[in-house]
Structure 1
Amino acid sequence: MNLEESIAHLNFADPQMWISLLTLTFLEIVLGVDNIIFISIISDKLPKHQQRMARNIGLGAAMLFRVCLLLMINWIIGLKDPVMTIGWFTDDTGAALALSWKDIILLCGGIFLVGKSTLEIHHKMQQAAQPAAEEKKVSGVVGRALMAVILQIILVDAIFSLDSILTAVGLVDNVAIMIIAVIISMIIMMIFAGAVARIINTHPTLQMLALSFLVVIGVILVAEGIHQHVSKNIIYSCLAFSLVVELLNIKLRKKQDAANTPKSDSPL
């Protein structure tokens, strides 16, 4: 069904259409959380006045990319067809590993995400050991690379977009509903990306947890690329638990700092 036919079949009086739209929009937002985390961390390299622009350009590019992919829906479905076989490696069923273009993209994307997140962790560790003046100098040098940051955001957007689109294809058969859900979800993410970035970048320990989360996501993408089943529910549950513990630690540290701050005596 092409876009014109999909629009013609839209029935806004049909409750099922609204259920499909809301469900898909929610899933798109959930699948976009790791994308927002990466964008928040990578845009932190830029000067303050450029960070919001980089986030909006990155998410805007992701929206356009996903809409374009939805308009090429038949090509997307064809990405699942095997294009090469690796005889010496078996998948989780014991058969020879047959890779499709989707698998290859997930493999490359996972390796990139693991490598990039690991380098960011290393950079944060080095940055913490630098004097304030030297750190400011490094930040200024990196901050000029706006285009490099945007290109990295677009690259990761493309990787996450593939998973998002395949989810949409499996859930809804109307391209118009898919496009509406993608646009709504990306607008919501644009609105909240700044708040997420501020929270992550204000707390260094939360930033390290987010980077570790991206490493795990990269490993999951690699595993999916070689057809090794990984229970995402267990992984995400552990990550959610870690996040709750870290938020409690942040609250505890705030209370300890407040208790240790000497109170000035009130004048008589």
Structure 2
Amino acid sequence: MGPMMDLIASSVEVAADVPLWSVPSLIALFALTLMEIVLGIDNIVFIAILTGKLPAEKRSFARRFGLFVAMGMRILLLMMIGWLMSLQSPIIELSSLAPIESLREHLAADAEVNEISGRDLILLFGGLFLMFTAVREIHHKIEGEHDDDPQMDMDLPEADAAVKSRKPVTVGSVLFQIAVMDVIFSLDSVITAVGMASHLPIMIAAVVISVGVMITFANQISDFVQEHPTVKMLALSFLILISVVLLSEAVGTPINKGYVYFAMAFSLIVEFLNLRMTKKAKLQHAH
């Protein structure tokens, strides 16, 4: 995951075999909380995009619901560690399905690609679902459909009757999509936490604290995304990038997440500079 992630992981591993109530355990709690927040960025971006399609008065509830479900899902998975670890055991080998001998030998030579586990199938479904959602939203934006503000559709001319007739987005459908992706993101997050620490209370506390931090800033992040169309398009692009990461893990060729997070951070910095330049230009024209 990159140097920062390795540093966090090493600090947790050092504290893995120490007593629960000790300074090293507190260090492990802090490190795991930081890790959970970093891993939760994907979830926040997805929730911000989906809740943006709801009426303004319902967005805050949907965001909190999504994050609370994510917290509950992660705690539940932590308490089912045995079952969770079984998901990483192979359930089928692609080489056994290959019709050609040379292909079977090629697949058998790479266990990561050849062996398919329950976790791989879940990540595959999640990656495809996330990519479909992101591409659909980008299509809506390019076509000029204002599903993030239902009231805007009422102001469109008669020629846009097709857009007006489009069914409004319901709270139930948004909450369902959030819940589905919560399962995917929680799975990856919990597997990382289980591999980094041995004390269940520390892992649960880290999840609760990290979700509390994300809830605190979720509204500000989501409102910022909604207020700036270019940032929203960038966020949708991030979702496609995240879906590619999930799919790459599913097929046994994982992409280093450190590179992905660096690319996302660099893109945001450039976008913030553009927004600041645009704001300054508007102020100069106003004078």
Specify the TM-score bucket, using the shorter chain as the normaliser.
0.7 to 0.9
Report the number of matched residues: 251
1:142, CA displacement in angstroms? 2.5
**Contiguous gaps of at least 5 residues in structure 1:** 1-8, 264-268
- Listed one character per residue, the Cα deviations across residues 211-266 of structure 1 (whole Å, up to 9, x for unaligned) are 101101100100100101312222222221111111100000001111112x4xxx
1:43-192 matches, within 5 Å, as 43-87=51-95, 88=98, 94-95=110-111, 97-127=114-144, 133-134=155-156, 141-143=167-169, 145-192=170-217
1:86/1:212 CA distance change after superposition, 3 Å: same
Which position in structure 1 is the counterpart of 2:241?
Answer: 216
Partners of 1:256 and 1:109 lie apart in 2 by: 42
205-214 vs 95-104, which moves further? 95-104
Preserved CA contact (<8 Å) 2:93 2:115 = yes
Q: Percent identity, aligned pairs only?
A: 39
Superposed CA RMSD: 2.4
1:187/1:164 CA distance change after superposition, 3 Å: same
1:125, CA displacement in angstroms? 1.5
Query: Which of 279, 284, 287 is the matching residue for 1:254?
Result: 279
Partners of 1:66 and 1:214 lie apart in 2 by: 21
Which position in structure 1 is the counterpart of 2:253?
Answer: 228
**TM-score of the aligned structures, taking structure 1 as reference length:** 0.87
Partners of 2:129 and 2:235 lie apart in 1 by: 16
**Contiguous gaps of at least 5 residues in structure 2:** 1-17, 147-151
Which position in structure 2 is the counterpart of 1:5?
Answer: none
Preserved CA contact (<8 Å) 1:106 1:221 = yes
Amino acid of the structure 2 residue aligned with 1:49: E
Matched position secondary structure for 2:253: coil
